């Protein structure tokens, strides 16, 4: 209770403690008396009082009629003073009487601040918080706020200018890429037209070794560059590699569509990875040897696994091509090129790991084939072709009809009016190496038959 009394006394003494009382002036006894008025100077008569003019009441409530220097206490100012008073009261009450004193001090000081609009022990401060600060300090704060706003405006304008410059650069790079693609397409179209005009068919004939893919000349500025270390075995490399990786994200989706790896020392290109359909997955890998394309691997069915392998020689032409046609992870078609021409292709049609068809070419023309017709793992049919201009026709077929591993049927064919007909069939029925039955045909129809072994009669 004593502490609460002290708090109350402090509240009541707040204005007195906060404001110094100015003593009343005392008359100066030693002062000289005022000079008497000069009799020679006429005095002005006092103006008569206008009885119609009523004295207006002082808005500040001063009886003297002079404007008050004290600011008017508004409702918002009283609320602000009450909050400040409660804070001071809780601090003082808590230090004197613990939690209960803090609560009582907050209540007492808050009531005082709400009623008077003053903060106890605050030096007679009135009005809203911060109103007692000197004008120069308020002006400095206001000027600082305005300067911060101006700085923020300048930064926003700078960011807008920077974004506009970036957008313009991206647009310029996209236009450059489109222009390069258009030039490349026009160049390829011109090459195809020239090839067709001279009759070589270099761009469309599958029996001609394709040239290694040409590299597009792109400005280095469109790539993002970074040095990387490739551990041994990552690319079937025997030793670790230090490379410069250049990445191109043309559609700005965060996933590069092309990555080129260069030797970190010489700068020679080592490897290129491309996302051809822009689906976010690499589907083409190009390997270089001394700056030239040596191998291309492709994922044509987009399942994430390589299904085509292309190999190129030092002359830039394809030397081999291997394909996994059914996507089972095993290569089932093989093509071999020599001197720019396709010479042989091998196929595993049932994907059992054993070849069942081999095709040979001579001078870009189909020459002969070998085939395992019953899929037992042994070749049993051999076909020879002849050429009639650009047309390839069957000339002869040899078979192992009984599956004994030797050829025992021989057929010859002829062309009549553009159609292929069986002309002659010879058979070794007993596998003794001698022809036992000879059949002659005309337009595919049997005309005569010669049987050399009487044991085969009737056939």
Mean pLDDT, consecutive 10-residue segments, the chain of 459 residues?
Answer: 50 46 41 42 43 42 44 60 74 68 72 71 48 67 84 78 70 63 55 44 74 85 93 94 93 90 94 93 95 95 94 96 94 96 95 94 95 94 90 94 93 92 94 91 92 72
Instruction: Tell me what pLDDT residue 313 has.
Output: 95
- CA angle 184/188/194 to nearest 5° reads 145
Q: Which of 57, 113, 67 is nearest to 90 (CA)?
A: 113
Contact (Cβ atoms closer than 8 angstroms) between residue 414 and residue 393 = no
Contact (Cβ atoms closer than 8 angstroms) between residue 298 and residue 288 = no
Structure tokens at 8: 């109350």
Instruction: Tell me what pLDDT residue 147 has.
Output: 85
CB atoms within 10 A of CB 39: 7
Query: Cis before residue 458, ω within 30 degrees of 0?
Result: yes
Contact (Cβ atoms closer than 8 angstroms) between residue 347 and residue 333 = yes
Q: Which of 216, 217, 208 is nearest to 317 (CA)?
A: 208
Structure tokens at 167: 């957008």
Distance CA 274, CA 347 (A): 29
What is the signed CA dihedral for 174, 175, 181, 187, rounded to 10 degrees?
Answer: -160
Q: Which of 448, 401, 447, 392 is nearest to 420 (CA)?
A: 392
Long-range contacts of 275-279 (CB under 8 A, 24+ apart): 277/302, 278/250, 278/251
Distance CA 360, CA 366 (A): 6
Q: Which of 119, 43, 123, 33 is nearest to 82 (CA)?
A: 119
Instruction: Tell me what pLDDT residue 457 has.
Output: 63
- CA angle 190/193/195 to nearest 5° reads 110
Place of tokens 């000197």: 134
């Amino acid at each position: 209770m004593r502490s609460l009394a002290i708090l109350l006394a402090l509240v009541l003494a707040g204005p007195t403690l906060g404001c110094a009382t100015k003593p009343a002036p005392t008359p100066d006894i030693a002062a000289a008396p005022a000079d008497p008025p000069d009799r020679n100077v006429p005095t002005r008569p006092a103006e008569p009082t206008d009885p119609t003019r009523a004295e207006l009441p002082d808005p500040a409530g001063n009886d003297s009629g002079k404007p008050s220097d004290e600011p008017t206490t508004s409702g918002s100012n009283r609320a602000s003073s009450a909050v400040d008073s409660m804070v001071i009261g809780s601090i003082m009450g808590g230090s004197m009487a613990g939690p209960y004193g803090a609560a009582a001090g907050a209540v007492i000081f808050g009531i005082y601040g709400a009623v008077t609009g003053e903060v106890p022990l605050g030096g007679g401060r009135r009005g809203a918080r911060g109103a007692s600060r000197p004008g120069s300090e308020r002006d400095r704060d206001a000027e600082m706020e305005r300067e911060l706003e101006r700085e923020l405006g300048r930064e926003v304008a700078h960011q807008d200018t920077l974004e506009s410059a970036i957008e313009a650069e991206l647009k310029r790079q996209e236009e450059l890429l489109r222009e390069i693609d258009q030039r490349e397409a026009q160049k390829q179209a011109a090459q195809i037209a020239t090839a067709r005009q001279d009759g070589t068919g270099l761009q469309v004939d599958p029996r001609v070794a394709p040239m290694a893919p040409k590299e597009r000349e792109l400005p280095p500025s469109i790539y993002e560059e970074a040095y990387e270390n490739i551990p041994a075995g990552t690319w079937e490399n025997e030793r670790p590699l230090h490379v410069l990786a250049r990445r191109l994200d043309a559609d700005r989706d965060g996933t590069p569509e092309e990555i080129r790896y260069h030797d970190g020392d010489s700068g020679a290109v080592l490897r290129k990875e491309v996302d051809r359909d822009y689906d976010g997955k690499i589907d083409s890998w190009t390997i270089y040897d001394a700056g030239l394309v040596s191998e291309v691997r492709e994922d044509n069915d987009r399942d994430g696994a390589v299904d085509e392998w292309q190999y190129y020689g030092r002359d830039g032409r394809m030397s081999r091509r291997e394909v996994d046609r059914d996507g089972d992870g095993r290569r089932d078609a093989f093509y071999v090129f020599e001197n720019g021409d396709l010479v042989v292709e091998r196929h595993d049609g049932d994907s059992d790991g054993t070849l069942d068809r081999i095709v040979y070419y001579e001078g870009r023309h189909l020459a002969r084939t070998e085939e395992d017709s019953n899929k037992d793992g042994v070749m049993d049919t051999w076909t020879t072709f002849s050429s009639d201009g650009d047309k390839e026709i069957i000339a002869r077929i040899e078979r192992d009809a009984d599956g004994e591993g030797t050829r025992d049927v021989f057929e010859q064919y002829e062309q009549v009016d553009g159609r292929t007909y069986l002309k002659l069939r010879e058979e070794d029925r007993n596998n003794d190496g001698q022809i036992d039955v000879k059949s002659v045909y005309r337009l595919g129809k049997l005309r005569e038959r010669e049987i050399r072994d009487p044991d085969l009669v009737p056939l």
